[in-house]
Amino acid sequence: MIVDYTESVEEATQIARVALPLANKYALPANPVNYAVLYEYVAGQNSELNAVLDQLREAKKELTSDQLQALYQRFVDSGDEQVINNVRQALAGIMASTIGSLDKVEQESQSYQASLGDAANQLASGKGAESPVDVIAKLIEETLRMQETSKTLQDELEKTNKDLMQLRTDYKRVRQESLIDPLTGIQNRRAFDESLSENCTQAGASHQPLCLLLVDIDFFKKVNDTHGHVVGDAVLKQVANVINDTVRGGDVLARYGGEEFAVLLPNTPMDGAERVADNICNIVRNCSMNQLSVGAEIGRITVSVGVAQFHSSESGEAFVVRSDTALYRAKESGRNRVCTHTFEAKVEQAVDV
């Protein structure tokens, strides 16, 4: 279910100020999933979500991230980017509120300056309907009023500073967590898409080689069906760790989807990428998948890998398709192996009319 977010800046700010403390109340990390659920709950636009969450709150003293994950997948699932936009709106709302306070003080200050000028002229000239005592009394009154305005501003700025510090922290955490796969701890599909675009642009401009590996765990459905999803998740983590230990610091490893991983290898030609892919296959094949490591004796796990090298005349999407084609060939030809896909330029022939 996708909900349209139509709140104004002020409304989004108020929702954020309720949603974040609600997360703290239940000791929930303000990650994108939790924040998205709580934001919609406070906003009250998703009636089905609110009904289920109200039942959970009434039935239990605690809420867990797993429960909110299930609610997110069932009722929200509109993309974590909206969460970041909500935090941006909250920040904008707080800043707008602060600017309004500053404008009010500026107006009060201008009025106070005008009163000081009038009083100075009356005292200097001796003219005017008011006596010097009345003029001074009025100045004291204006000064006290200005002090009260300044105190109000100071309190508002202190509160705003706390809000900004909290939201800045939450924004950074949300942004970072929105690019991380919560199960394996490596980058997720969104992070990969961003890295793919950046690396293809850089490779096209610098003419440096760029290769992509798509790695798929063989017969992973059988692992889930036989041993359950808990063991399956442990296998995913184990394979992710193996690949992460194999690649270099400048390489990009991401969970591409399900049991599939993507590895971008900047400044790496095809032969180097094949060596990396072979290493991944060999290490995974020899990795212990037993009771101690994954919670069950599941035997040998293998992976299939498709490799392609980027060509400056193709799009990032076409680059991924070629790597995926190579992966498909590896699985069709027996699995537990590496296959490559070489770029073939399309030549348009002129036709005489």
Give catalytic residue positions: 259
Q: Any residues with CB less than 8 A from the CB of 265 and at least 6 apart, and which?
A: 210, 211, 212, 213, 247, 248, 251, 272, 273, 276
Report DSSP letters for 152-165, one per residue.
Answer: HHHHHHHHHHHHHH
CB 246 within 8 A of CB 278: no
Report DSSP letters for 186-252, one per residue.
Answer: SB-HHHHHHHHHHHHHHHHHH---EEEEEEEETTHHHHHHHH-HHHHHHHHHHHHHHHHHHS-TTSE
From residue 208, give the alpha-carbon distance in Å to each of 85, 151, 254, 308. Answer: 35, 60, 22, 14
Specify the DSSP element, H or E, that contains 263.
strand 260-266
Centroid of chain to Cα 235: 25
Question: Which pair of tokens denotes residue 271?
Answer: 């032969």
**Maximum alpha-carbon separation in the chain:** 105
Question: Which pair of tokens denotes residue 152?
Answer: 């109000």
Identify the three-state secondary structure at position 254.
strand
Question: Which pair of tokens denotes residue 231?
Answer: 């063991």
